[in-house]
Amino acid sequence: MASPTVSVALRVNGHAHTLDLDPRTTLLDALREHLGLTGTKVGCNHGTCGACTVHVDGRRQLACLVLAAAASGRIITTIEGLAGADGTPHPMQAAFVAHDALQCGYCTPGQIMSAVACIEEGHAGDDATIREYMSGNLCRCGAYPGIVAAIRDVASAGAD
């Protein structure tokens, strides 16, 4: 017997999508498996590592903890949606490169999504505050000094 599905309307990176999904499908799985947006990474699948961080209605969310059906009708931005329409990297993406804020790169999309939100939320005033508000994103390689420097750089550029 086939499992029942629900119709889910997602607006992802400015594009509308309607999907028929198992009601238990997470936003993470909808993005990766049904829309092919693999920039959002599967880490722990328990909401503790931050690799799956996306923005939902402008607020950071862990996509592994949000059911796709709960995100229906909401505005979702993934790492693929940060760059400009012409492909120009978002200032945070450029800052991560400039400050060597990545090593293996696996956590980088989630780190960047959280870093953008950290600034937008007003939590980039000093290094201690940045570290506190980025503490939900883990980096096994230890690129934290570069991450903090990148956030500080972008935050100070926006203050001008």
Q: What is the pLDDT of residues 31-42, one digit of tens each?
A: 999 999 999 999
Fold of 6-81: Ubiquitin-like (UB roll) (3.10.20)
CATH class of 91-158: mainly alpha
Residue 17: exposure state from Cβ atoms within 10 A (0-12, 13-18, ≥19): middle
Query: What's the pLDDT at 159?
Result: 59
* Range list for CATH 1.10.150.120 in the chain: 91-158
Q: Show the tokens assigned to 59.
A: 């607020």
Kindly state the average pLDDT of the residues 83-109: 96
Kindly state the average pLDDT of the residues 7-15: 98
Query: What's the pLDDT at 63?
Result: 98
In this predicted structure, the answer to whether residue 105 has a pLDDT above a threshold of 70 is yes
C-alpha span between 84 and 91 (Å, rounded): 10
* Range list for CATH 3.10.20.30 in the chain: 6-81
In this predicted structure, the answer to whether residue 160 has a pLDDT above a threshold of 50 is no
Whether the predicted model's global pTM rises above the 0.75 cut: yes
pLDDT digits (tens, 9 = 90+) for 116-149: 999 999 999 999 999 999 999 999 999 999 999 9
pLDDT band at 1 (very low <50, low <70, confident <90, very high): low
In this predicted structure, the answer to whether residue 20 has a pLDDT above a threshold of 80 is yes
Query: CA torsion 61→83→39→73, rounded to 10°?
Result: 40
